[in-house]
Each structure stands twice: as structure tokens, then as C-alpha cells.
Structure 1
Amino acid sequence: MQTGVKAVDQLIVKHGIMSCPGYDTFQRRMRLTGGDKRADTLPFCMYTKISHAPLSRYFTVHHFYLPSNKGKLASFLFDEKGVLIEQVYYQRVTRWVKVCKKLQQLVQGTSRDVHLAA
């Protein structure tokens, strides 16, 4: 899939899209439970969803970064079924918003595949 930005396309080819918890210079994927203290570092909309959820609920947070300038690109919050609950695009320029939307499509496909495989 072409995102429209060569640097991001190269990062996707190099690192792929994570389907399990982990991290590299391009992305980080974590699994959190309801009320998890690690949610303090997330955007407020994601923090409130996780902090007010019961302990029995699980969430997956997927962050994307731009290694060249160490900036945040986007963050996505999924529930235990792989349904997107919240998304945050840190870039405001139209070109980068389109990149974030394409990354969202890739991550949603990965989250659905993992849920179905489990």
C-alpha cells in the first residue's frame, strides 16, 4: 500500500506492521487492561477510556513515530475484539493526515486478523 510519503513507505517495508506487543523505531504496540497505570502517558481520550474500564477489559494501543525527527505520527486504541475505539493523529498537515488514515487501515486489518486467528 502506498501512503504517499516515501519515507513512511520505506519504514513499512523495513519494519512491517506489528501484530503482537513490541516496539521498534517506527512503532510501538502494547496491551493494557482496564485501569492500567501505563495509560497515564496516552492521549487524554485514550486515558479516560482505559482508566474507567473494568479490570476484565483488554485494550491494544498502537503508536507510530517518525524516526527522522522523533515526532509522533498517530496512535490507535483497540478493544479486545479488535474494534477501533479512538484514534489520534498528531500531524495537522493534510498530506500527513492521509498517511495516518492509510496507517489506520493497515493496523485495523492487522488487528482483525490477529483476533480471528486467536
Structure 2
Amino acid sequence: CIPDHMFKQVGHGAAVAAGVAMMVMAGQHVVAQDQLAIQYTRHVHALGMTVDWRQHRLSVEVEAPIELEVRHSLISHGVAPHSNAQWHDVRHAILHISPLQGAYMTRSE
């Protein structure tokens, strides 16, 4: 006979394992179906991450000396999300957050 507390622990462990398995399987489906792509960039004075999802691109870049840039872009239809061609900014602006200059917007090129 198994003690009650051990039975509960085994049950909780099985539920966690099943939940993790479902999240992994669903995550793989979302990546394949919605064309999710993550890219990292590293330059001498900047570090960035870009997430492409469906028709959207969200870019976050940290520049030296500690300035954060956030940009949202929208891809033209018919272009692969992970390519750099045919992207255009929805709001034509970039949000900058800096401890020295505060938060401000600039126009994208």
C-alpha cells in the first residue's frame, strides 16, 4: 500500500510532466504554423533580438551606453517573415529608453 502523501506527490509529478509535454508539442505547432522565428544580433556596441511572428516583427536592441530601442514592423504580404526584404515600419518611429536622455521617439529610416 502507498502512503497518501506519496500518492499525491506522484500524481502532481505526472500532471506536471503531462503539462510540459503538451506545452512543448503545442509550441512546435505554433512555430511551424505561424512562422515564428527568433534572431539574435551582436555588434561591438549593441545587442539585439528580433522576433518574427506571422506578419509582425518586434525588435529590441540594447546599445552602449545602456539605451534600449523597441521597434514594431509589419511585413508585406507574400514575403517570408525571416527575410529582411519588404519590411516596413507600421508607426515609422522607434521608442528609445535611456537613463541619460529619458524616453523619446525617433523616426525610422
TM-score normalised by the chain length of structure 2: 0.34
Task: Kindly indicate which of the two structures has a greater share of residues assigned to helix.
Answer: 1
Whichever of the two has the greater Rg, that structure is 2
Task: Kindly indicate which of the two structures has a greater share of residues assigned to strand.
Answer: 2
TM-score normalised by the chain length of structure 1: 0.32
